[in-house]
A = this chain, B = another copy of it.
Amino acid sequence: MDNRPVENYMPSPLDPADWGDFRKHAHRLLDTCIDHLSEARDHPWCHPVDADCDAVMLGSATEGVGYAEVVDELARNILPFGTGNTHPRFFGWVHGSGLASGILSEIVAATMNSNCGGRDHGAVYVEREVMDWCRRCFGFPEGASGLLVSGTSQATIIAFAVARTKVLGIESRYTGIQEFPKLAAYAASGVHSSTSKALELLGLGAASLRTIPLDSDGGIDIQHLKQVVARDRTVGIQPFCVIGTAGSVESGFFDDLEALADFCAIENIWFHVDGAFGAWARLAESPWKELAKGIERADSLAFDFHKWMYVQYDCGAVLIRDGRVHRETFATRPAYLAGQKQGLGGGDPWYCDYGTDLSRSFRALKVWCALRTYGSIALGKAITRNCELASHMEALVNDSLLLRMEAPVRLNVCCFNAAPFGWDALLQGTLNATIVQQLQLSGDVVFSTTELGGRTVIRAAIVNHRTCNADIEYAISSVLQARNTQMDNHDFIK
């Protein structure tokens, strides 16, 4: 391959006129960012934005300010105002913490600006490597297909669309679903909201999701599931998907995935697993890794890298056991994208044939970089450590006379209650929510809340490689202090 020089070319009006100057400011920004990340533990989890949001106003944005000024503004007006999830005492929702390797990958990805919808170039090979690593990690067979997406929500949409094609046939892509019998999906109560959102998008409606109570082991009650499926079949409703939860977001429960796989095999129903963060229990040590047993029998698996693989936002993935039906569900190639035998238009398969997006960023690089830099053993150890920390938090709660657990810790989620036992549920919830809010505003520690047993409770999801035992101890002591403050608050008691 050769590149003859072009005479008399004009430089780009948008490239730096002085690359040396750009280089200087880029290095300055990189130093500021590395300082910031290396001090993740030393500053409050975030700065409140209220007073500063004016600083990012664009207005008409007609005139540019150039690289030097933009670097100043990024450092001063943007960088300090993070979500807070890089901080070791951020336990809110399920927010991954990011990796230093992600800075490296994003510099390269931004420079290359690859479009990973298809074609024959380096980024596609990297994505294939990443997805093949996932396939082996989760025990899917050769012939399974996979795709990086923005997260589990998208992965779920794609998986359900494939399951729908499997049941209704490929002609349903053309005809739509309106003249087919009604479909139904099944999941444990506590399944993630992205499940019903995906069913809504696909036109099946939230009502097509049957939520099944949990059994005494804390997973889906399979006897109950069996009855609901049988009843649906009786009235002409077609079961099209059973969703197994691998790590629920509220309390961290796991369905018995082996039992669900058996059930789906007998009933001939698509078996999807929502493994957003919990799928990665597979990389942890015993006893946590056993929770994910059976995941390798799923027809489809949705999971995130940006939660418990610590990779930067956004990055999730879907694996589909039957690569053929996956491709049949999404492949369409207009004329201007016709493949070629050789050249850039070559290469096969194209990822645009496996999902909804035609233009696709080089998401694979941050995963590749994480796996290559740290290796799966070290990543698995960090996951194990997070589970141990959740158990440590549970122990501290159990040791305290003023706090009590609201659900057993199964993995990395710890839900507890700081309110006196005798209070009514509403007042208990108000106290817990107020404590969480006070701690967030103090900059000390971020919990979030959830509903369990009809009460708003305090919830920690530990998916942060910077968290250590001392942080857990500090966090629980902060809860106790905040509880005292609030209990002394006469307004509250009234």
Contact among B176, B208, B344 for A204, CB-based, below 8 A: B176
| A139→B334 CA distance, assembly (Å) | 31
Contact A360 B113 (CB under 8 A): no
Q: Does A444 contact B (CB under 8 A)?
A: yes
Are B74 and A1 in contact, with the CB atoms below 8 A? no
Which chain B residues border A100 with CB–CB below 8 Å? 14-16, 22, 67
Residue-wise, chain A 244-256 has the 8 Å CB interface mask toward B (1 for contact) of 0000011000000
Q: How far is the CA of A193 from the CA of B334 in the complex (A)?
A: 6
User: Is A395 an interface residue when CB atoms closer than 8 A count as contact?
Assistant: no
Give CA–CA (A57, B122) in the complex, Å.
11
- Is A61 an interface position by the 8 A CB rule? yes
Interface string of A31-66 (1 = CB under 8 A from B): 101101110111111111100110011101111111
Quick one: which of A326-348 are within 8 Å of B by CB?
A: 330, 332-338, 340-345
Tell me, in angstroms, the Cα distance from A116 to B81 when the chains sit together: 12
Q: Which of A63, A374, A379, A474 has the most CB atoms of chain B within a 10 A radius of its CB? A: A374
Shortest CB-to-CB span from A455 to chain B, Å, is 10
List residues of chain B with CB within 8 A of the CB of A109: 106, 312
What is the CA–CA distance of A48 and B345 in the complex, to the nearest angstrom? 12
Say yes or no for A484: interface residue by CB 8 A criterion: no
The proximity string for A residues 68-96 relative to B, scoring 1 for CB distances below 8 Å and 0 otherwise, is 00110110011111111110110011011
B378 touching A64 by the CB < 8 A rule? yes
Asked if A476 CB lies within 8 Å of chain B CBs, one says no
Is A483's CB within 8 Å of the partner chain B? no
Which B-chain residue is minimally distant from A355 (CB atoms)? B153
The 0/1 profile, CB within 8 Å of B marked 1, for residues 139-168 of chain A is 000000000001111100100010010000
Q: Top 6 A-B pairs ranked by shortest CB distance?
A: A81-B122, A203-B203, A176-B205, A98-B113, A1-B443, A64-B375
Sample of 16 more A-B contacts, CB < 8 Å, known A173-B206, A177-B177? A2-B442, A6-B471, A12-B465, A15-B38, A30-B107, A33-B108, A71-B104, A82-B113, A86-B113, A110-B312, A113-B313, A174-B206, A178-B178, A249-B334, A341-B437, A342-B437
